[in-house]
Copies of this chain bind each other. A is one copy, B any other.
Amino acid sequence: MMQTIQIQPLTPDAFKPFGDVLDIAGEPTVIINQGLCQRFSDLATLDCVGDDAKTGISLFNSDKRTLPYQLDMMERHPLGSQAFLPMTENAFLVIVAPDDGGKPSIPQAFLTQPGQGVNYHRNIWHGVLTPLSEPGLFAVIDRIGPGNNLEEFWFDMPYLIGPSRVTAIPL
């Protein structure tokens, strides 16, 4: 029997152990462009290990997922942070977990608001990119460089994320 994880709204406080929420809540850092543009500066803690590595901009184009979502695997990046910024106004699903001796503990699931991105801190367990709409187009700011920057953990028993599966009552 799979355990169901309820989806929470994404807030900076709830997400703090895992990374940064990237949005325009709060006061702008500065107003620019003759008063016509708000700038919210330096929202993410970027982390990139290794003299031969750099931070780069990539684009991800992902198939959408549906709820309830079966979480079979989580991953983490030991050498760098990874930020996801949606290039649409659609919400997406964010799944993270505390570490428990080298494997993910019970996952936590968040639903973004339109206009929110996230930055996973280095070595934080997270699910793969899970848009809930198409196109699943994201700008990704992460480490570009050599070395093994991917660790995966497959669950013996997957989790179910989101609304419980409705069980049809046999007639």
Give chain A's interface residues, CB within 8 Å of chain B. 22-24, 28-29, 32-34, 36-44, 46, 54-63, 83, 85-89, 115, 117, 119, 128-129, 135-137, 139-141, 144
A33 in complex: contacting residue of B24, B28, B129, B144, CB < 8 Å: B129
Query: What's the minimum C-beta distance from A62 to chain B, rounded to whole angstroms?
Result: 4
Query: Contact: B129 with A115, CB < 8 Å?
Result: no
Residue on B with the closest CB to A139?
B85
- Cα distance A43–B139 in the bound complex, in angstroms: 10
Complex partner residue of A42 from B58, B60, B83, B89, CB under 8 angstroms? B58
Instruction: Give min CB distance, A59 to chain B, whole Å.
Output: 4
Number of copies: 2
> Is A63 a contact of B40 with CB atoms below 8 Å?
no
| A23-B141 contact given A33-B129, A37-B128, A87-B85, CB 8 Å threshold | no
- Residues on B with beta carbons closer than 8 Å to the beta carbon of A38: 60-62
Complex CA gap A57/B117 in Å reads 11
Q: Nearest B residue to A131 by beta-carbon distance?
A: B37
CA distance A38 to B131 in the complex (A): 13
Q: Is the CB of A57 within 8 A of B89?
A: no
- Complex CA distance for A139 and B43, rounded to whole angstroms: 10
Complex Cα distance, B129 from A30, in Å, reads 15
Chain B residues with CB under 8 Å of A41's CB are 56, 58, 144
Task: Contact check, A59 vs B33: say whether CB atoms are below 8 A apart.
Answer: no
Point out the residues of chain B lying under 8 angstroms from A115, CB to CB. 87, 135, 137
- The interface residues of chain B lying within 8 Å CB-to-CB of A119 are 57
New A-B contacts (10) at CB < 8 Å, excluding given A32-B128, A39-B59, A85-B85 = A22-B59, A23-B59, A36-B63, A36-B128, A37-B62, A37-B63, A42-B57, A43-B57, A46-B56, A139-B139
